Chains A and B, each alone.
Chain A
Amino acid sequence: MSEFYLTIIHRPEMVPEYIQKDAEQGKKEDLTRSDVLQESLDIFRTQQQIAHENGLRTTIQMTYASLFNAEAVAIAKEHHERFGDEIGSTFLGIQCKEFREKFKSKELAIWLFSMDDKRKIVAEVFDKFRDVFGFYPTSTGSYYMDAELVNYIKEKYPMVRAAVATCWEEGPKAYWNANNSWYTLMDGGPWNPWIPSKRNIHCIASDQTDDIGIVAIPHLSRDLMAVFDGPGSYYGTHPQNILRGMVFEGQELPYFQNIVDQYRAMQKYNRGYAYNMMFVGPGWMSKGGRWEADYALLLKSYRDGMAYYSELKQQGKLQDLTMSEFADVYRANRPYTRPECTLWRDILYGSRRQMFWYADPWMRFCLDMNQGGAMVDLRPYAAKLVRPCGVGTKANQDASYPFLVQSLYRAGYFTHYAGEGAVKSCKIGHAGEQVDLCTCRTLASFSEDGDTRIITLDPVTIEFADFSVQVQSIFRLAEGTGEVEIIRRVFASSNPEADISIDEYITACYGTTEYPEDLTGVRLSLTGAGVSESIDYAYQCREAEIENMQSAEALIPQVDTRLSIRTEALAAGYFREGFSFSPMYTLGIKKIIKAEGELRTWLKVAKAS
């Protein structure tokens, strides 16, 4: 039996965000407009029918508004009986006349209410659900479910075991894409299901004591390359999102099947397991069309998507599970320390680019093979930051998990004229020349050695003025260590006498958006045999270097993180403070070799406090 699992979710959203907006044009708001309610219910019915015609079961996530609609409730009960669909609950679609009267708020995002309101809304939604169905839901969700909210739900309703908890990399890019009016600022989570930490929903739980008690599911399965640099709502297992991104011609969008197949291929990196999630809200199948797509195309694309899943199921290549069923299956074979890995390849732009994504309880990171395996994203999960969001919190709308490196928000290799950008890479030097591996495009392959995952990059040739060498990068990820081992191997030198420097470095900062944060108070330090140096960051361009280093470290109290690099080789270590036009810090390890050799280093992120 295939371990490619699919979860399909439908929700009867009585007042869909988009349809209501259209209906309002030229009219006053009316949450009880009967044509909107009827159309929404029709869409829900159509979605359910398409799934069932294709032999697929669904999870019906009842919105709060739909609990007051006898027809929606009757459909859910009937489909649970006839098809085995799960009836769950969602915090999307809370807005309706009853909610407005009870809570006096137009807020639509559960994670953005105050904690006090969250508690009241959870009680109202869950108790209403029980009144209607006679039981409490075992799955729930929203675009984002903060840890504080989920902890509360688990305390009061321990039967809940699955939740749609984030939307992958739906952060500043989604905000920008929506004309700065869509407040789903939630970058930094895993792209596939995970067991979250009690302290922060983005982080993967370390062990049972840290386990929040649910399996979290990301909202949709996203393109791990396109969404890193573009709007999430263009590229994923959501046919209408693909239409929004205009990744189609005429009536056809093969890209949908390409994404599904690439997710299926994740079995190669994750011990035979892979996952897909499809969750199209009714607003995306409006009879009036959605942006440039008319209803006929919206409908066809949904039918085609389901038909492909059905084809895979018939071939024994897919299992459709409801959310709670999936949570059980996932937990049954998921040690806490097991990482999620993916060597993603471009399926959109026609390049051969690959990106390797990795997430475990210590960190999430991304290596970009277009930049010689440079680390372009690094999130310190080990810090397990308690970072509540919503009204009355410091973060308020910004529910993202902070990065130390995000090369698109903070420049990476290429900067305009001055300064440095956030990236982890390596520079190879000789006689005054220096080449950054960021400029050496390559490809990678994935392998395993016991519990160590290995990314091996194809060698690249570096040409100096009077000779050339080849350099190969290898990343070794030993499960349960929280460290990344990086090997830079220099060989095939055309000059056996040449001195070659290997400079392994990380330039980092911290933040959740494109804009710089204050680095004052970050402590940079070096430790060697009997010697140490340290400074407190003050934008003064200071540098220090020691021979025979043991470790270089940045303590970033703002995100409670200790970032360190070390080596067992005889090498120099250095740190570099930035300045206001270049608000970064750099840690590095340098070694000189004669013609050929290697430098092996380890990178680690840990909780500082």
Chain B
Amino acid sequence: MAQGRKGKLNYRCPRCLMREIDMDMLYDRDRDEYYCLRCSFIGDEKEIQRLNAQFRDKYRDRMIRITDF
């Protein structure tokens, strides 16, 4: 199998991110797939972005400007 390298963006593992661990992933060019050294996640860029969007969901106020304190 090919040597893992840094991808075009330095994606963190989205599954580890869910448990608040910043874990850089490696990219396998032959399979066009990112993989995590820690939790066995594999996925392409689209899958990572889908899970990252899920991660953001916990921040219900992320796009709300709050001024009343």
Take A261-B67, A292-B52 as given contacts and tell me if A348 and B6 are in contact as well, using a CB distance cutoff of 8 Å.
no
Q: Are A178 and B22 in contact (CB under 8 A)?
A: yes
Residue of B22, B55, B64 with highest tally of chain A CB at under 10 A = B22
Whether, in the assembled complex, B31 has its beta carbon less than 8 Å from a beta carbon of chain A, the answer is no
**Complex-state Cα separation, A231 to B38, whole angstroms:** 19
For A570, the chain B residues whose CB sits under 8 A away are none
Whether A244 is near chain B, meaning CB under 8 Å from some CB there, is yes
Q: What distance in Å separates the Cβ of B43 from its nearest Cβ neighbour in chain A?
A: 14
A568 sits at the interface (CB 8 A): no
Please name all residues of chain A whose beta carbon is closer than 8 Å to the beta carbon of B60 when the two chains form the complex: 348-350
Is there a chain A Cβ closer than 8 Å to B50's Cβ? no
Within 8 A of B (CB), among A330-359: 345-350
| Residue from B21, B22, B61, B64 in contact with A244 in the complex, judged by beta carbons closer than 8 Å | B22
A179 touches B38 (CB 8 A): yes
B66 within 8 A of A: yes
Cross-chain contact A177 with B69 (CB below 8 angstroms):
no
Check if A290 is an interface residue, CB within 8 A of chain B. Answer: yes
Q: Binary interface profile of A, 221-239, with partner B (CB < 8 Å = 1, else 0)? A: 0000000001100100000
Is B55's CB under 8 angstroms from A246's CB?
yes
Chain A neighbourhood of B10, CB < 8 A: 22, 288-292
Closest to A259 in B: B66
Chain A contacts of B63 at CB under 8 A?
A: 249, 252, 254
A265 with B23: in contact, given A291-B12, A292-B52, A350-B61 (CB under 8 Å)? Answer: no
B66 to A25, Cβ gap below 8 A? no
Report how far A523 CA is from B63 CA in the complex, Å: 51
> A290 to chain B: which residues have CB within 8 Å?
10
Tell me whether B66 and A258 are in contact (CB under 8 A). Answer: yes
CA distance A362 to B21 in the complex (A): 34
- Give residues 3-40 of B contacting A (CB, 8 Å): 5-6, 9-12, 17, 20-24, 38
Please state if A347 and B61 are interface contacts (CB–CB under 8 Å).
yes
Is there a chain A Cβ closer than 8 Å to B46's Cβ? no
Residue of A nearest to B49 (CB): A292
Question: Are B55 and A347 in contact, with the CB atoms below 8 A?
Answer: no
Cβ B67 vs Cβ A179 within 8 A: no
A176 at the interface (CB under 8 A from B): yes
Task: State in angstroms the CA–CA spacing of A291 and B34 once bound together.
Answer: 13
Given A22-B6, A292-B52, A177:B66 Cβ within 8 A: no
> How many Å lie between the Cα of A248 and that of B52 in the bound state?
11
Cα A10 to Cα B11 with chains together (Å): 27
CB of A348 within 8 A of CB of B67, answer no
Instruction: Output the nearest chain B residue to A252 by Cβ-Cβ distance.
Output: B63
Q: Is A68 an interface residue (CB 8 A)?
A: no
- Please, what's the 1-or-0 string for A255-266, where 1 marks a CB less than 8 Å from any CB in chain B? 101100110110
- Among B23, B38, B58, B62, find the residue whose CB has the most chain A CB atoms closer than 10 A: B62
CA distance A246 to B14 in the complex (A): 11
Nearest neighbor of A178 in chain B, beta-carbon distance:
B22
Known: A179-B38, A292-B11, A292-B12. A254 touches B65 (CB 8 A): yes
State whether A177 touches B22 (Cβ < 8 A): yes
Q: Is the CB of B55 within 8 A of A179?
A: no
A282 to chain B, nearest CB (A): 17
Closest to B58 in A: A349
Please tell me which one of the listed residues A230, A262, A265 contacts residue B20 in the complex, with CB atoms under 8 A apart.
Answer: A230
**Residue of B at shortest CB range from A253?**
B62
Q: Does A73 contact B (CB under 8 A)?
A: no
Q: How far is the CA of A173 from the CA of B58 in the complex (A)?
A: 18
Give bound CA distance, A177 to B19, whole Å.
Answer: 8
Q: How far is the CB of A116 from chain B (nearest CB, A)?
A: 34
The answer to whether B61 and A25 touch across the interface, beta carbons within 8 angstroms, is no
Cβ contact within 8 Å between B52 and A177: no
Tell me if A247 counts as interface (CB < 8 A to partner B). Answer: yes
- Chain B residues closer than 8 Å to A179, beta-carbon distance: 21-23, 38
Within 8 Å by CB of B9, from A178, A252, A264, A291, lies A291
Chain B nearest CB from A184 CB (Å) reads 14
Contact across chains for A292 and B9 when beta carbons are under 8 A apart? yes
Q: Is A294 an interface residue (CB 8 A)?
A: yes
Q: A289 to B6: give the CA distance in the assembly, Å.
A: 12
Q: How far is the CB of A409 from chain B (nearest CB, A)?
A: 15
Contact A247 B22 (CB under 8 A): no
A179-B38, A261-B67, A262-B69 are contacts. A349–B59 as well, Cβ < 8 Å?
yes
Q: How far is the CA of A176 from the CA of B64 in the complex (A)?
A: 29
Residues of B within 8 A of A253 (CB): 62
**How far is B58's CA from A350's CA once the two chains are assembled, in angstroms?**
9
C-alpha spacing A252/B61, complex, angstroms: 13
Most buried by A among B24, B60, B66, B67: B66
Question: Which B residues have a C-beta under 8 Å from some C-beta of A?
Answer: 5-6, 9-12, 17, 20-24, 38, 52, 55-56, 58-67, 69
Give me the 7 closest cross-chain CB pairs, A-B, nearest first.
A350-B60, A265-B69, A254-B65, A258-B66, A350-B61, A247-B62, A291-B10
Task: Name A residues whose Cβ lies closer than 8 Å to a Cβ of B.
Answer: 22, 25-26, 173, 176-179, 230-231, 234, 244, 246-249, 252-255, 257-258, 261-262, 264-265, 268, 288-292, 294, 345-350
- Provide 23 A-B residue pairs closer than 8 Å at the C-beta atoms, listed in order of the A residue: A25-B5, A176-B21, A179-B23, A230-B20, A231-B22, A234-B20, A244-B22, A246-B17, A249-B56, A249-B62, A253-B62, A255-B62, A258-B61, A258-B64, A258-B65, A258-B66, A261-B66, A261-B69, A264-B69, A268-B69, A291-B12, A291-B22, A347-B66
